[in-house]
Structure 1
């Protein structure tokens, strides 16, 4: 089962890397556009364009910073071993889907099966933490029963 954990962990790392690459590309494009923008007779247009490019750069820097935080969190997670109780890095199977408790990365497909990558701080992550096989909880009126923890 640790092979599954490793595959899910790698998928999350790839998800974060894609986010980082997109943010870095956005920063480069905004800087390039800002540098290519020449001052015209309509000075306000030039200043507005530069301000918009700065806002775009700032937005992408924020996204890059958030992606870096996710990568740091992933580096703290062991992709090896198994768990008896749900903890960070665990794969939890319930009657309503399977979850990878790591970062919020949405649905990840591994070996033809879908897993929800969820943060331990998310509402469902908080409810999953510490649960063992046979435990149950309810989220938004929907009952969940833990079928397996790995």
Structure 2
């Protein structure tokens, strides 16, 4: 397996790429909605037109909220220093347990580095909360499953 700094950097880069892709999709979605709103012309069925505009406005608001959430997620990732290491689990930690491996960052699901799976999780998730502040050798109990922390990067 790669050296420890490379693992953390690889996980961070994968997270950033996923967020950037989602940001582009969200921005394109907002642009498409704006274009739809601008091209909407008054038809003979006025109520139908107003309903269509209202629906597009709601879609635009929802897309705007999604964009804001993605930007907050990106801001969390920007706080992670891939070259730092700690003996205590915190934001940016890569955690190896006897059951699964975790990257404490943002919730993005499963990531792979050199055929090793890691779960990108937020510190605010239930398992993230259990892991925070723990050290190598400590045990956590998550949903009836005991896990032993083997290594922290």
Residue 125 of structure 1 pairs with residue 143 of structure 2: no
Match of 2:141 in 1: 138
Match of 2:104 in 1: 101
* Secondary structure at 1:143 match in 2: strand
TM score, norm. by length of structure 1: 0.96
In angstroms, what is the RMSD of aligned CA positions? 1.0
Work out the CA distance in 2 between the residues paired with 1:128 and 1:9. 19
1:1-150 aligned at under 5 Å gives the runs 1-150=4-153
Structure 1 segments of 4+ aligned residues over 6 angstroms from their partners: none
**Which runs of no fewer than 5 residues in structure 1 stay unpaired?**
none
Pairs aligned (count): 150
Work out the CA distance in 1 between the residues paired with 2:114 and 2:50. 52
Distance apart, 1:83 and its partner CA: 2.1
TM score, norm. by length of structure 2: 0.94
Work out the CA distance in 1 between the residues paired with 2:32 and 2:43. 21
Distance apart, 1:124 and its partner CA: 0.7
* Secondary structure at 1:38 match in 2: coil
